Amino acid sequence: MGIVGESGSGKSTIAKCLVGLEEADEGAILIAGTDLLAQPINQRKSHRKLMQVVFQDPNAALNPRHTVGRTVLDVLRANGCERRMLRETALTLLEDVKLDRKFFERFPHELSGGQRQRVCIARALAAKPEILIADEALSALDVSVQRQMLQLFADLREKHNLTILFITHDLRVAAEICDDLIVMKSGQVVVAGAPAGVLEGDLHPYVEELMNAIPGQEWFPVGGKRIAHAEM
């Protein structure tokens, strides 16, 4: 599920409500049919354990004094991984995010921005989430690295059977990875549906505005099929 909109549209607020960093004023948050907001606060924690967040800035998200290995190991320990399996499980998670095992002993300052974000994803996966929330997780990366990360998210979704909530201001990026889109403006959902339905036919004026802001005349999803044409 992709949530798209300009800065201040309410995208990240939804993510914060999901993981309990903010309390929703009204409405419902349904996780597998259960309304999270209708439960006592102490019971919500068990559902929130099913969710992990990958934040926008991997530099701020990683402890500069901890090696990559320790970053992942700490989460595995906290989630009850057997001691004899700790190191091998951590190494396997690094491989899942396309990092060589040699990165286990490295520190964040020795990594590129894309590599740091891969470590953040491995750390999130160490908690065995069912829902992965990617909050502007690609916006700080170069375009070429974004392409690699999009494919990585698609691969991880299949391998780990994940539901991914993909939050971005870039409509093009969301269309490439998401099965469904929600477009927000000023805290309101203005349109929702499958990417083809949102981006083709009679466009909502705000969707058209977002598409016209995309650099380039044409753009294509990972699968190679054209979804939309943007006029500059």
Instruction: Tell me the domains of the chain and their CATH numbers.
Output: 1-50+130-141+150-232 (3.40.50.300), 61-128 (no CATH)
pLDDT at 209: 86
Q: How far apart are CA 64 and CA 127, in angstroms?
A: 21
β-strand partners of 34: 31
Q: How far apart are CA 141 and CA 218, in angstroms?
A: 21
Non-local CB neighbours of 6 within 8 Å, separated by 6+ positions: 169, 185, 210
* Residues 157-190 pLDDT 10s: 999 999 999 999 888 888 878 999 999 999 999 9
Distances (CA, A) of 133 to 6, 14, 88, 167, 218: 18, 10, 25, 8, 28
Q: What's the average model confidence in pLDDT over 78-107?
A: 95
Question: Taking 50 as the threshold, does the pLDDT of residue 35 lie above it?
Answer: yes
DSSP code for 27: S
The model's pTM: 0.85
Q: What's the average model confidence in pLDDT over 193-222?
A: 76
